[in-house]
Amino acid sequence: MERHLSAQQLARLVRIAPGERPYYEALARAVRALVLDGRLAVRVRMPAERHLAAELGISRTTVTAAYDRLRDQGYLDSRQGAGSWTALPDPATLGAENPWLTSEDNGMTPMHAAAPAATTLLPWAMALAAEDHPRYTLGIGYHPMGLPTLREAIAARYTARGLATRPEQILVTVGAQHAIHLVMSLLIGQGDAVVVESPTYPHALDTARRRGARLVPVGVDADGWQLDLVAAAMRQSSARMAYHVPDFQNPTGRLMDDAGRAALADAARRNGTVLLIDESWAELALRDLPPVVPVAGFDTGGNVISIGSASKLWWGGLRIGWVRATAELVRRLAALRASVDLAGPVFEQLVAARLFERIEEARAERRRTLTASLDTMATALRDTLPSWSFTLPDGGGSLWIRLGTPSAIRLADAAACHGVRLAPGPWFGVDGTLESYLRLPFTQPPQVLADALPRIAAAVAAGPNGARPAESLTPAL
């Protein structure tokens, strides 16, 4: 039976402070708050615009503008001539207002992205790459699998981490996201089940959704993974693929131990599930931890594919990532890649190859700077927002914060008014869940965090009426 809401009922529920303007935005925000708090259920038919206008004593165009706003943000589904129903947005919806595409240089502090500035080793590596480069300009410049010297360096690093690897097993990509896209494009079809962590890295969810995958979320929390639940999810959904971030998971920062890795690989083998292991943060331990072997080291069925990135250890601006798989799969992925781009830029690959030579220095530098930023952030949070709770991460670049109330999207809106862009929990989940969580990256320097945190606290103190709608439903890094 269809549920519906009368204009009188909705008018009673919405809370708009006197003087809040523009009114249509205030109305949209009030309705959105009701949906997010669960006071207004999803798939409830909204009153006709003219009835609500009459009830609130406002013009019909104002209600139309509010409904349009809600529709743009994913909180209303409308059918021409039939009406509008409450909805929850798809967290990975990439709309025209996507701030990922438009937020450049707008003066906001980018606390929605966990992306550190470049390593101080970058100028050194670039100078050497500039010396290496002329030799390459004599050739055709296209290296569809990646520059041999970089493939060798990446393979050698896997071998050093305990997983013997040959350069033929490496495909160099334009970042790890490119790698995720290639692997999912090759192996996922419409309707295939893909097990994902909840919370997880939003752009991977986006890629899987765009392949038409059925997402099967399994929770990860401060205690880490429940691998029996992961195995059950693989079995019950006949999962084609499972996407995991066992090395300093984004956003929780947890590290899976070797026993967990063995169990994960075993579950994938038994269920015929391809494991896509994202090691983008693998080099970013924040303290000394018992060493772990890459998950592919536990692979006995040939169904583990690993991906990695230069973005977190060195710099996102290099746009270097990779896939490690069988040589045969690497060739198939390279053939697929040729349909979109033919090869990566040579210079950046030379830079990355050089950076591998001094990898331990970069690891130490990141540990030093990220720990300093984390200390600043954790202290400020405990002082100014004591009701928020979090567990200190093993590594990575973000805190996964439990807010205590389902208010993350409203908070992100309010923080935008205070010049800080935040990543609300639902970005990291499936079906609009995780509204009581916020990811706070500590990849910015301490002085930036010391400036941003009081502004976040001010946004919390201002409450919902301190907010203006922001384009908050966008995946983060």
Ligand X SMILES: Cc1ncc(COP(=O)(O)O)c(C=O)c1O
The count of residues interacting with ligand X (CB under 6 A) is: 14
3-class secondary structure, 313:
coil
Token reading at 250: 């984004």
Site stretch for ligand X (CB under 6 A), options 57-65, 169-177, 254-262, 332-340 = 169-177
Nearest of 143, 209, 161 to residue 349 by alpha carbon: 143
CA distances from 339 to 276, 306, 333, 445 (A): 22, 22, 10, 40
Our CB check for ligand X shows the closer of 73 and 250 to be 250
Residues 254, 285 contacting (CB under 8 angstroms)? no
474 binds ligand X per the rule CB under 6 A? no
Measured at the alpha carbon of residue 434, what is the angle toward residues 420 and 265, in degrees to the nearest 5? Answer: 115
3-class secondary structure, 109:
strand
Least gap, CB of 423 to ligand X (angstroms): 11
237 binds ligand X per the rule CB under 6 A? no
Identified binder of ligand X from the candidate list 217, 321, 424, 469, rule CB under 6 A: 321
Identified binder of ligand X from the candidate list 46, 150, 205, 477, rule CB under 6 A: 477
Site stretch for ligand X (CB under 6 A), options 69-77, 82-90, 172-180, 324-332 = 172-180
Window 125-164: residues binding ligand X (CB under 6 A):
none
Window 191-210: residues binding ligand X (CB under 6 A):
201
Residue with the CB atom nearest ligand X in the bound state: 175
Least gap, CB of 400 to ligand X (angstroms): 13
Q: Tell me which H or E stretch contains 172.
A: strand 170-173
Least gap, CB of 145 to ligand X (angstroms): 17
Where would I find the beta strands (DSSP E) of 299-387? 304-309, 321-324
**321-324 vs 170-173, strand pairing mode:** antiparallel
3-class secondary structure, 249:
coil
Cα 457 to Cα 369: distance, rounded to the nearest angstrom = 24
Site stretch for ligand X (CB under 6 A), options 93-101, 225-233, 309-317, 374-382 = 309-317
Site mask, ligand X, residues 93-122, x = CB under 6 A?
---------------------x--------
322 binds ligand X per the rule CB under 6 A? no
The count of other CB atoms within 10 Å of the CB of residue 3 is 11
309 binds ligand X per the rule CB under 6 A? yes
Identified binder of ligand X from the candidate list 145, 176, 183, 352, rule CB under 6 A: 176
Binding site for ligand X (CB under 6 A): 114, 175-177, 201, 245, 250, 278, 280, 309, 311, 316, 321, 477
